[in-house]
Amino acid sequence: MTGFLFIVAAAAPLIATHDYKEQRLADKLRGPCAEYILGTDELGRDVFSRLVYGSRISMSVGIIAVFIAAAIGIFMGSAAGYYGGWIDNMIMRIVDIFLSIPTIYLILTTIVFLGPSIINVMIVIGLTGWTGIARLVRAEVLKNKNMKYVDSAKLIGLPESKIIMRHLLPNSLTPVFVAMTFGIAGAIFTEAALSFLGLGVQPPLPSWGNMLTAGKDYMHSAWWLIVFPGIAIFTAVFSYNLLGEGLRDYMNPVTRREDVG
């Protein structure tokens, strides 16, 4: 399913049946039909085309925000795990501060100051989502830094940066890939929530969240305006969560041994 979402996002100009910005007031609030397979909105815009282009927004926000979070989390976690001491204490206290503040409040406060836009949404979600990855990387580095291959690298005089990059991180990133998959699902949902509140992607750009906002005023007379964006959000979040569960089971050696047995 995640592969299908990528295909839809990448091929949006080919899949969309209309221009997502085109307004046809004469066709406003038309239900699903042959010309508009998912109906039209209050401005006569094709819902299907806006959903297809909205997938680009959701995929972009989810992936870019998670890569920002992963870059920060990997750097902070590897530094804390490898160096220990006051560096570890300082980084972990920063993590504790971030975790003590409800994420949605932190995101909302930051968006209010920066202003609502797709770029700011990506940055804010990334800057508030690195703590879990940092803790995972720290735990893996702590487990691996006393291995013999690390001692051998130290004996031959490799600098610490190369020991971390070449030896520790490649053997510490397995749980990070799983966390990133779950993180994409969370970022897609967060973007939809922010756009629904008017603090995310701004019209005329289509976002599943702002499509829900526009449709809530017509939920009794034009049900398709909230049903189809809702299904899209559910499908994307569910697909990435399912992929994360599959990756976690596949990368867990205990589970793999049980499957083989």
Compute the mean pLDDT over every residue in the chain, rounded to the nearest whole number.
Answer: 82
Query: Is 183's pLDDT higher than 70?
Result: yes
pLDDT at residue 58, as a whole number: 83
Q: Classify the C-alpha dihedral 59-222-19-204 as positive or negative.
A: negative
Residue 46: DSSP 8-state:
B
Of the candidates 252, 236, 92, the one whose C-alpha atom is nearest the C-alpha of residue 178 is 252
Q: Out of 20-24, 154-158, 179-183, pick the least confident.
A: 154-158
pLDDT band, very low/low/confident/very high, at 251 (cuts 50, 70, 90): low
pLDDT band, very low/low/confident/very high, at 252 (cuts 50, 70, 90): low
Percent of the chain whose predicted confidence (pLDDT) is above 70: 95
H-helix or E-strand spanning residue 10: helix 2-10
The SS3 assignment for 40 reads strand
Residue 101: DSSP 8-state:
S
Could you report the per-residue pLDDT of 89-128, keeping only the tens digit for each?
999 999 888 888 777 777 888 787 877 778 888 888 888 8
Query: Is 138's pLDDT higher than 70?
Result: yes
Cβ neighbours for 132, distance < 8 A, ≥ 6 positions apart: 73, 179, 183
Q: pTM for the whole thing?
A: 0.81
pLDDT band, very low/low/confident/very high, at 260 (cuts 50, 70, 90): very low
Angle between helices 174-196 and 224-251 (to 10 degrees): 170
Mean pLDDT of 67-86: 88
pLDDT at residue 90, as a whole number: 92
Maximum distance among all alpha carbons in the chain? 77
Query: Is 241's pLDDT higher than 50?
Result: yes
- List, in sequence order, every residue forming a beta bridge with 40; answer none if it has no partner: 46
